[in-house]
Amino acid sequence: MCGIVGYIGDQNATPIILNGLKRLEYRGYDSAGIAVLQDGAIQIRRDAGKLSKLTTLVENSPIEGHLGIGHTRWATHGEPSARNAHPHMGDTNQVVVVHNGIVENFLELREDLTAEGVKFKSDTDTEVIVHLIERFLSGGTSLEEATRHTLKQLRGAHGVVVFSSNEPDKLIAARIGNAGGVVIGFGEGEMYVASDIPAILEHTRRMIFLDSHQMAVVTRDGVQVKTLDGQKVTPQEHNIGWDPVAAEKGEYRHFMQKEIHEQVRSLTDTLAGRVDFDEGTIRLPELNLTPDMAKSISRIVITACGTAAHAGMVGKVLIESIARVPVEVAIASEFRYSDPIVDQNTLVLAISQSGETADTLAAMDEGRKRGAKLWSIVNAIGSQAMRVADGYISMQTGPEIGVASTKAFTAPMVDLYMLAILLGEMRGVLSPEKRRKLVADLRLVPALVGRCLDREGEIEQVAREMKYIRNMLYLGRGINMPIAYEGALKLKEISYIHAEAYPAGEMKHGPIALVDRDMPVLAIVPHDPWYEKMISQIEQAKARGGNVIAVATEGDTRVEALADHVFWVPETPWLLSPVISVIPLQLFAYHIASLRGLDVDQPRNLAKSVTVE
Ligand code: AGP
């Protein structure tokens, strides 16, 4: 949830850390701080509010040095304030820490430390960490050992970076559980630490990722990684191909708008290297899927949160329709506590843009404990959900910065479509002819998305007329029912308008009582097998005075005669129609929120990666 950046090397750490935090601001942003070792003493600058306040603070009271750490915070314990902002320093003024996660046993630790005379200066759980380290240091241990002993006392999930003025040649970084990643980047005579790739990508593409219960001693010349039990490990070094510029807004007002428009590119990228259009075949080598394994799968449980779960709901229809494997979609925060019926023939497939969502990772653990095979579809290279899985598919969309997920929603739907074809072929239920047709349809997708984006002006016009709405009902059926849920979530999370979604067939069982002139209805009615049913849904809403916006296939005069507004989409093979139907809904939500002057990329109360329960 929070952002962490650390540096050790010959350059001034301050600008490197502040720029790095800027690229992580989407992860959590109610306070921020930086600590740098300057002339042998630790200097700290920190404040509540956005990162820009910290930058001003540092401009007015500069600090510089060659060793430093910084942090952007999304508060869990203690309100957003300067005293609760990280970094936190202990009583000796020689040790400083930044932390991501929650110390679940912090009350008992705080009581013990207080009983020993420690005077706490903040309301945070994090502060117990630095006092525990100082307690061990006072016994004559090294910073590495003091940190190791401290981490063993903490319950919960953590990402921690520490340094001491007494050992100015190193940073200590550690990861326990799933509280966001710890990434270590290799420079020339300098090293970087961060909670996420974009923070350090402009400096290096060579990175390693700590696994849970691993601790790294980072010096200018490199890194030593050990388990918390002191066993030496050598994490795989990744070369991150992302383009640093890609993490910038370019000519767009918001990352979200840029990322909506990137979907032609990102969908092309998620297909890249995986589709042989001449042969009509799919290859997903990182899945490690064999025909025997494909045949052994009795059912698939797709588990995810939020937008990723909506992609999973589309995936259910795709896999059941193409590969004829039973699929259940289980919301991760429910699955992890549901005592699920899972065995060695169950495949648990997690979907996660960040690959660090605590509920999703916990659901994966639950599946693993019960004998399931684990796959994941992830965007963040090296993320936990990628590394713990038996096989994975990378979304390959590049960094998604906007909190509201867009390109990391359409990419996994295409990945699930490819997975369904591969499974169907390996299980012998997909004829070569059908397979070649399905693969050929994939080639159309980027251009079809481009045609939806070309209609942004029409959608913005409708958003301008409707920017003061206070409610919205989204209706869809079949493979496009999840798109109703996704459209409603997009509007909710960035415009704060109450929006809800229903399977359209459910309307007559109660929700239609909501429909009147003040309850706009958005009906998703492209040419798919549920088209006629959706037409009658629109008629029912109109009969009750409803104001209907329809997502409809270009040239559909029936819908045009019925609806008050139409978001046109091109004719699309129905199995791929969700990838197209969602585009106008992303743009609609974006423009309503933008017209309402809201912080589209950093909506209130939200963070990009929910690494706590
Ligand atoms: C989507 O717009 C939201 N930001 C949120 O629902 C998100 O999809 C969810 O938290 C899951 O995140 P993940 O894909 O990184 O696991």
Q: pLDDT band at residue 242, thresholds of 50, 70 and 90?
A: confident
Q: How far apart are CA 280 and CA 438, in angstroms?
A: 8
pLDDT at residue 575 tops 90? yes
The residues near 293 (Cβ < 8 Å, ≥ 6 apart) are: 373
pLDDT band at 29 (very low <50, low <70, confident <90, very high): low
What is the per-residue pLDDT for 26?
58
Q: Is the beta carbon of 353 within 6 A of some atom in ligand 1?
A: yes
More confident residue, 88 or 602: 88
Q: Which residue is closest in CA terms to ligand 1's atom 6? A: 306
> Looking at residue 408, what is its pLDDT?
97
CA 140-145-150 angle, to 5 degrees, is 100
Catalogue the active-site residues: 2, 608
Listed in sequence order, the residues at least 6 apart from 134 whose beta carbon sits closer than 8 Å to its beta carbon are 90, 91, 92, 94, 95, 146
- Higher pLDDT residue, 373 or 106? 373
Ligand 1 in contact with 357 (CB < 6 A)?
yes
Half-sphere exposure at residue 360, Cβ-oriented, CA atoms within 13 angstroms: 34
Is there an atom of ligand 1 within 6 Å of 493 CB? yes
Q: Please state the atom number of ligand 1 nearest to the C-alpha of residue 404.
A: 2
State pLDDT tens for residues 393-417: 999 888 888 999 999 999 999 999 9
Task: Give, for ligand 1, the residue of 196, 256, 354, 394 to mutate: max count of ligand atoms closer than 8 Å to Cβ.
Answer: 354
Q: Is the CB of 411 under 6 A from ligand 1?
A: no
Answer yes or no: is pLDDT of 444 > 60: yes
What's the pLDDT at 51? 87
Q: Ligand 1: distance of its center to the CA of 307 in Å?
A: 5
When pLDDT is averaged across residues 72-98 and rounded to a whole number, the result is: 87
The rounded Å distance from CA 290 to ligand 1 centre is: 30
Percent of the chain with pLDDT over 70: 97
Does 610 sit in the ligand 1 pocket, CB within 6 Å? yes
- The pLDDT, as a whole number, for residue 249 is 65
DSSP reduced 3-state for 105: coil
> What's the pLDDT at 329?
98
Q: Which residue has the higher pLDDT, 335 or 610?
A: 335
Nearest atom, ligand 1, residue 380 CA: 15
Rounded distance from Cα 305 to ligand 1 centre (Å): 6
pLDDT category of residue 1 using cuts at 50, 70 and 90:
low
Distance CA 570, CA 448 (A): 6
DSSP alpha helices (H): ranges in 68-203?
106-115, 127-137, 143-153
Q: How confident is the model at residue 382 (pLDDT cuts 50, 70, 90)?
A: confident
Q: Is 368 exposed, middle or buried (0-12, 13-18, 19+ CB in 10 A)?
A: middle
Q: pLDDT at residue 381 above 70? A: yes
Please check the confidence at residue 469 and state whether its pLDDT lies above 80. yes
Residue 28 has pLDDT above 60, yes or no: no
Structure confidence at residue 248 as a pLDDT band (50, 70, 90): low
Q: pLDDT digit string (tens) for 527-554?
A: 999 999 999 999 999 998 889 999 999 9
The whole-number pLDDT of residue 246 equals: 61
What mean pLDDT is predicted for residues 205-213? 93
